[in-house]
Structure 1
Amino acid sequence: MKKLVIVFLTFILSLTFFSNFIPPIDNSYLTSAFAEFRSTGDSPHFHGGIDFSSFLKEGIPIKAVYDGYLVRIEINDSIYGNVVVLQHPNGYRSVYAHLSSFSYKIQPIVDDLISEFGTNKIIVNFPENEIIFSQGEVVAYTGKTGEAIQPHVHVEIRNSKETMIFDPMGFIKPKPLNGEIVLKELVIDGQKYDFVEGKTYEFKGKYPRLSINAFLQVNKNIIGLKEIKLYFSNKLVYHIMFDEIPMEEMYKPFTVYTKDSIAAGYIYKAYYKLYPDTIGYSVKVNNFPTLNQNLDFFPVTIELYDPWERKKTFNFNLRRSN
């Protein structure tokens, strides 16, 4: 009984920590979601965090999402640009990227490093509790260093060993955006179709090799999804969820996305792969091995969830062709 009480209290304490994280920019909003496809940099990869708007401005203050101490700064990284990493007492780390400048506690150190090493990539680790930040204290200022196209702040949540990266939406709760969950295209056995609710599509082989172009549409901005569930004849067949990703899989996005996905600059068109090819950590359910191979015609339901876990359901039919 005592052990159960301890476990319960630990769980409640964790929830309290999560609920006490704050957004890094005042009155801002989400512009990109966790685990979106990226084809920038040296290799395609998952988007490791979430992005907050800085209203197209550099120099907007970025606040510590929770109490913590400075673990590391990085300067001139080709993807992340300038970076601050904080360690929090709940065991998690927060990462802030694409910075234009740093807190007054850090900037003199950065200036000295740049004067010595110039534009080379610089990484500096700091002793525990040497430089401390309170929740809400300014740690840096927004910019567009690294691969950023427009000024914003990219925020990640990692474990203390930085072997696992988590969806920051499980910790930070930005205001929900008004938008529409869209299922725009189906790709079946390599053939692209505009999605039409209730339509019947054909496939070949043992099972349909189905992928989808789907997203949350917010004005002109496209935001990636949190979760996808695929049902054949009301049976859950495939389930993708972006809750956490091992760091070793960050550069393996094709476990979830197809190779004709693209995300570079202002172009974003990603196709979620809803069939077993190379299975990664984000694939939570794969029931394709248990499918009845004699199904020649069946209803299909796809449930799509946005980053705030709002759901929209889409329906169509599949027929095996000769």
Structure 2
Amino acid sequence: MKKNLFLLIVFISVLSFSGFIPPVDDSYLTSSFAEFRSTGNSPHFHGGIDFSTFSKEGIPIRAIYEGYVVRLELNDPIYGNIIVLQHPNGYRSLYAHLRSFNYVLQPIVDDVVKEFQNEKVVIEFSDNEISFSKGDVIAYSGKTGEAVKPHCHIEIRNHDESILVDPLEFFEIAPPEGDIILKELIIDGKKVEYNRGSVYTFTGDYPKIEMNAFLKINNNMLGLKEIKLYFANKLMYDILLDEIPMEEFYKPYSVYSKDSIAAGYIYKTYYRLYPEVLGTPIKINNFPTLNTNLDFFQVRIEVFDFWNRKKEFSFNLKRER
């Protein structure tokens, strides 16, 4: 299925509990936190969220809160051109895929580009050397790095940038109308169409379930926030995509299976509901307690979006010996 070909329209209120404002005026979300990406140097998590710039370059990008410039980065293979701000609440915000910067920063960038051309360059600034107020224009939208279309990618990081945090926690966004869809299951490597109450077969010590699921809004898709797997009403596995340590940025297979692909307009990802590779998003793993002699499992999967809306899917698994 194509992603971002038709944009999800989710209108954003101007004030959040943290005081952060959206970086683009009158915009809407097009991607969510920790989605799978197979672009760039290596598969990775989507480190932030995306706001539409209406497929246009040159749209003003605003500081989401007061702060000062930590650094600029040019020609990063994933992020393209970047600006990072430090905020007084301890968090940092990163804005990516930029075409250019505001009138204070662009002359600095122009001088650096004359010397280094298209090389990757990091320009660091002293604390409070260049400050901004909330809402000030800091840059302009582009499609540098791995961006297919112009948009504003924004991340929230802790002070030492060791942890990526879901930016949706910092913006008040009205719940959009939509539905959580389970498109397809993979059980023991075999793709099957989901039907409630159906009986599927598996082999091996324990069932290996993967699911292609997403929040569908009009013709666009957003990733999920949390997935809980139950066997006979016992919680076996819990994936919660609230934060990603930077050391795990290139380890998306703790959550997604290798059947996943997300590059350009193609987006088809499978959440892996068994512990092949563990990571921070895996909050509960009770597979070590599973009775591997059982031949029949009643399966229930609870799926949540960011707004805590839940949908359940249930089926049965029977072991083939």
Q: Retained in 1: the 8 A contact 2:38–2:44?
A: yes
* Count of residue pairs the alignment pairs up: 307
> What's the counterpart of residue 85 of structure 2?
86
How many Å separate the matches in 1 of 2:174 and 2:111? 39
Corresponding position of 2:197: 198
Residue 171 (structure 1) aligns with: 170
The CA distance in 2 between the partners of 1:296 and 1:46, in whole Å, is 35
The residue number in structure 1 matching 2:240 is: 241
Amino acid at match of 1:156: E
How far apart are 1:18 and its partner, in Å? 5.2
Relative to 1, partners in 2 of residues 1:17 and 1:179: Cα closer, same or farther, differing over 3 Å?
A: closer
Bigger helix fraction: 1
Distance between the aligned counterparts of 1:173 and 1:51, measured in 2? Answer: 15
2:256 match:
257
Q: Report the Cα distance in structure 1 between the residues aligned to 2:106 and 2:50, rounded to whole angstroms.
A: 23
The letter for the 2-side match of 1:103 is N
Q: State the match for 2:33 in structure 1.
A: 34
The residue that corresponds to 1:305 in the other structure is: 304
Is 1:282–2:281 an aligned residue pair?
yes
Match runs of 1:146-161 below 5 Å? 146-161=145-160
Contact 1:17–1:90, Cα closer than 8 Å, also in 2: no
How much has 1:170 moved relative to structure 2? 1.2
2: CA distance, partners of 1:173 / 1:292? 44
Task: Give ranges in structure 1 of 5+ residues lacking alignment.
Answer: 1-15
CA distance in 2, matches of 1:134, 1:155: 17
* 1:209-220 to 2 correspondences below 5 Å: 209-220=208-219
After superposition, where does 1:125-140 map in structure 2 within 5 Å?
125-140=124-139
Tell me, yes or no, if the aligned pair for 2:17 and 2:172 is still in contact at 8 Å.
no
RMSD: 1.4
Shift of 1:177: 2.5
What's the CA shift for 1:180?
Answer: 1.4
**8 Å Cα contact 2:184-2:211 kept in structure 1:** yes
Cα deviation for residue 176 of structure 1 reads 2.8
> Could you say what secondary structure the match of 2:85 adopts?
strand
Report the CA distance between 1:24 and its aligned residue. Answer: 0.9
The residue type equivalent to 1:184 in the other structure is K
Give the structure-2-normalised TM-score: 0.92
User: SS of 1:23's equivalent?
Assistant: coil
Aligned match of 1:292: 291
Deviations 1:262-288 (CA, angstroms, capped at 9, x unpaired) = 111100111111001111111000001
Compute the displacement of 1:320 (Å): 1.7
Matched with 2:115 is: 116
Distance in 2 of aligned mates of 1:72 and 1:55 = 27
1:113 aligned counterpart, secondary structure:
helix
Distance in 2 (CA, whole Å) between partners of 1:308 and 1:32 is: 15
Question: Once the two structures are superposed, what CA deviation does each residue of 1:134-171 show, in whole Å capped at 9, x if it has no partner?
Answer: 11111111111111001100000111111111111111
Alignment deviations for residues 51-70 of structure 1 (CA, whole Å, 9 cap, x no partner): 01111111111111111100
Secondary structure in structure 2 of the residue aligned to 1:19 = coil
Q: Render the CA deviation track for 1:21-80: whole Å, top value 9, x for unaligned.
A: 111112211111111111111111111100011111111111111111000001111110
Query: 1:17: how far off?
Result: 8.5
Other-structure match for 2:65: 66
TM-score (norm 1): 0.92
Which stretch shifts more, 174-183 or 133-142?
A: 174-183
What amino acid sits opposite 1:203 in the alignment?
A: F
Question: Post-superposition shift, 1:314?
Answer: 1.1
Superposed displacement of residue 119, structure 1? 1.4
The one-letter amino acid of 2:243's match is E
**Paired residue for 1:142?**
141
| Distance across 1 between alignment mates of 2:307 and 2:121 | 36
Secondary structure of the corresponding residue to residue 254 of structure 1: helix
> Hey, what's the Cα distance between the residues in 1 that align with 2:71 and 2:127?
10
Distance, in Å, in 1 between the alignment partners of 2:280 and 2:308 is 19
Moved over 3 A (4+): none
| Distance in 2 between residues matched to 1:279 and 1:301, nearest whole Å | 21
For the 8 Å contact 2:100–2:140, the answer to whether it is kept is yes
Counterpart CA distance in 1 for 2:240 and 2:276 is 16
